[in-house]
Amino acid sequence: MTDMIQMFLNATTELENLKQQVENDKHTIKELETFKQQAENDRNTIQLLQNRVFFLETELTKLNASKPPTNQEFSTYLMSMNQLIQNMAANEENDKNLTHHFNAAVKQLDELKAEMLHTRLNQSTEMEHYKQQSESEKSKQQSN
């Protein structure tokens, strides 16, 4: 009987640990969702900046139709475009990393859920076994 109580205490502790892991994973998933939203906001900001650059280029072209840009203007334009491209590439890489981490966290959460379900099933089976064993011992004691 003491073994059975100890087994249930151990199983309860294990379930509490699994529950805490699930809570930690939920927190991690929320953080990843926040990062994913930030990446989406960054993409939108980049798109707005690109649209603004296009608009300004069009306006500049209208104003300076007869005058080619100076070397300094063209250099500044190229550096700005290069910076935009680098930002887009960095955001794309961040998106890939966030997606990878998010998928890994979801997979780990699913595995923990399956492990908890398996543990509960095992506990139920063991509980039934000990219950039958206890009933068998009681009936033996009563017949003696």
Domain 2-138: give its CATH code.
1.10.287
Sequence ranges of the domains in the chain: 2-138
- CB 109 within 8 Å of CB 26: yes
Q: What burial class does residue 98 get, using C-beta atoms within 10 Å of its C-beta: 0-12 exposed, 13-18 middle, 19+ buried?
A: buried
**pLDDT of 79:** 94
Nearest C-alpha neighbor of 115 from the set 15, 27, 28, 29: 15
Return the axis-axis angle of helices 71-143 and 2-63, rounded to nearest 10°.
Answer: 170
pTM for this prediction: 0.43
Distance between CA 39 and CA 76 in Å, rounded?
Answer: 27
Per-residue tens of pLDDT for the chain, all 144 residues = 788 788 888 888 988 988 899 898 889 889 989 988 998 998 899 899 899 999 988 888 887 776 777 899 889 999 999 999 999 899 899 889 888 988 998 899 999 899 888 988 988 898 888 889 888 888 888 876
d(C-alpha 57, C-alpha 69), whole Å: 11
Residue 83: the pLDDT is 92
- Residues 55 and 48: their CA atoms lie apart, in Å, by 10
Q: Number of helices (H) and strands (E) in the chain: give both, helices first.
A: 2, 0
